[in-house]
A and B are shown apart, each in its own frame.
Chain A
Amino acid sequence: MSALSSHVLEEIKELPAKYPQPRSAVMPALDLAQEELGHLTPEAMSEVAAALELDPGYVEGVATFYSLFHLAPTGKHRFYVCTNLSCALRGADEIVERVRKQIGVGSSDQVSPDGLFSYEEVECLGACEYAPMMRLDHRYYYDLTAEKVDALVAERRSSSPLTPTLSPEGERERRSSSPLTPALSPEGERGKKPRAPRKKKADG
């Protein structure tokens, strides 16, 4: 019983041919594995290594180097709150406190009891003019306040689709271009995999 689905393993096996040298496929491959499983287990890393014909040790060394690869469970939603200088000067520490309180964990190596949340204090995310800010579910959220944090947590807890009023600032609503069509998607790039539709709330 392998950790990764055959679909993901197939994709990984096709990666090395897309780069001038096969080892470059390691990072995108780990990315695919982490997307599927939520975090990287030793089994997943071994399977990635086997699919790329590399030693697991090599893959392990790469995976542990980069901050975005997680080797422990992270829950479904991970709050990456920037606490570097520009955000710290605008109250990032309080935002971290609020997140901790709302998701119910004491430190960044914990996952909330309902398995939904974890957080991490991260370094500069490159959006300093919107400080304090954070990254959540592959999006940036700006000009954070305690209220906004509360709303973001509540929204995910209820697992209802995002309502317009709670759309995060910086959301590119004004963008009108269509999503990538498969025929044009550059192979191996992120963005070509369709997102799974959000579950609708049972009692509407």
Chain B
Amino acid sequence: MAELRGSSGDAPNHILTRWFGTPDLHTLDVYEAKAGGYKALRKALLDMSPAEITGEVKTSGLRGRGGAGFATGTKWGFINRDAPGPKYVVVNADESEPGTSKDRYILENSPHMLVEGILIAAYAVGANQAWVYIRGEYDEPSRMLTEAIEEARAKGYAGPKPMGKDYPLDIRLYRGHGAYICGEETALLESLEGKRAQPRSRPPFPAVKGAWGRPTLLNNVETLATVPWIINNGGAAYAKLGTDKSPGTRLMSVSGNVRKPGVYEVELGQTFRHVIMELAGGVPEGRNLKVFWPGGSSAPVLPASMLDTKTDMESLAAARSMGGSGGVIVMDDTHCIVKAAHRLLQFYAYESCGKCTPCRIGGDWAVRTYERILAGEGSQVELDTLIRVSDGLQNGRCLCGLGDSAGWVIDSTIRHFREEYEDHALRHECNVGKVPAIA
């Protein structure tokens, strides 16, 4: 039996993962019987108005868990429920941010939690049809989600009259086919429309003109999976956890050089020291922690000295990083930061959609420059080129965040590990292992 790697069981901060590990939790019967499933949907459909539902989500202060951290309730409020014509809920299950596996964790452990959240959201914003855009590589999670939707339909929780309510609700899947850029909202919508996935210029925003030209609510898997708890327990209860501006908990995938990699549910405001050293067991014996990416590879890195940075969005912003996808990648001092940055730039260059000039050209230019540096052919010119490319990728130059993220990799690794870069570029040597350990 595959082991659960991450949070499960009863704990004050286990809002999402409380019942994970229960046998057959992925079936509707067990989800209902053991985990209190579909109570929230019943309450939302039969006892609440759409405005009340959105109000609870606003009160909760829940922020998007996909990467941007936008206030979820506010986003729901952008959809004009009374505008004529169809509206859609689109669920971003494209999870491709390096270091991130939390949505997969949810889909494999409790797909019904997501189904319930989607149905509530659709009702709240006036949509009848939800589409889950799920990455093509997630064969197993797709199957499980498909089954869960089937069970919900069979039980009458989705369909023409869900739970007897005269408001049709349905969920369909749309498989991605291998493109990280589809994690970007408007690129996802383009892909859903059967096109090459290139982001759109905004405005107009998806709430006004989204999927197939219709008003659309786009939310991440984890964000929607949190909704049933909020409806069951109230937004105020959710807001009690976490910090003022980053309430609640989030799932953080911890991976890389840690003894206990896993998907851990963390109350926002906890430190990264707690997450990495306590929950994930710290780095292997005989090594020292060197650097970590706090929110997927797109979040600017933090060195070991900043391990006490807190996990809420404001603290991360103050540390010149971001919460991002919550994917924590930990690297110890046996690995070279320049090589790591190179590998990440290869990722961004490969995944660049090619629409806007700076990302298309800059990503590739950075990769080639890293190659020269790592081949011992570097000089100050190459370092200047990296900085120049990094500047050219940030601050609104690019059409979407992919370019900014590539820029941040270069920018933050040079900022915190300048010496290592200079070792490579100027002295043509690699001194991995000599970075001082944490105190």
Contacts and interface: CB of A to CB of B under 8 A. Distances in A.
- Classify A-B as touching or not with yes or no (CB < 8 A): yes
Interface stretch (A95-103, A111-119, A171-179, A196-204): A171-179
Interface string A38-82: 000000000000000000000001100111110000000000100
Contacts of A189: 146, 172-173
Nearest to B264: A129
Given A28-B175, A90-B257, A62 B139 contact: no
A110 interface: no
A123 B350 contact: yes
B149 to A, nearest CB: 7
Contact of B2 (A170, A184, A191): A170
Contacts of B335: 89
Contacts, number: 184
B95 A126 contact: yes
Given A86-B329, A186-B173, A127 B101 contact: yes
Contact of B195 (A23, A176, A184): A23
Contacts of B179: 65-67
Contact of A129 (B153, B192, B261): B261
A84 B343 contact: yes
Contacts of B175: 27-28, 31, 190
Contacts of B192: 24
A66 B139 CA distance: 16
Interface string B177-216: 1111000000000011111110000000000000110100
Given A89-B257, A139-B139, A184-B150, A124 B97 contact: yes
| Contact size range, A | 35 or more
A28 B103 CA distance: 23
Contacts of A129: 5-6, 101, 253-255, 261-263
A126 to B, nearest CB: 5
A123 B100 contact: no
B296 to A, nearest CB: 9
B55 interface: no
B97 A24 contact: no
Contact of B139 (A84, A122, A138, A186): A138
Contacts of B340: 85, 88-89
A189 B100 CA distance: 25
Given A20-B86, A129-B5, 14 more contacts: A23-B193, A23-B194, A25-B194, A27-B175, A68-B137, A80-B137, A84-B297, A85-B256, A90-B256, A125-B137, A129-B262, A170-B2, A175-B24, A189-B172
Interface of A: 19-21, 23-28, 30-31, 61-62, 65-69, 80, 83-86, 88-90, 122-131, 135, 138-140, 142, 169-177, 180, 184-186, 189-191
Interface of B: 1-2, 5-6, 23-24, 26-27, 86, 95-101, 103-104, 108, 135-140, 142-144, 146-147, 149-150, 153-154, 172-180, 191-197, 211-212, 214, 253-257, 261-263, 293, 297, 327, 329, 331, 335, 340, 343-344, 347, 350-351, 353
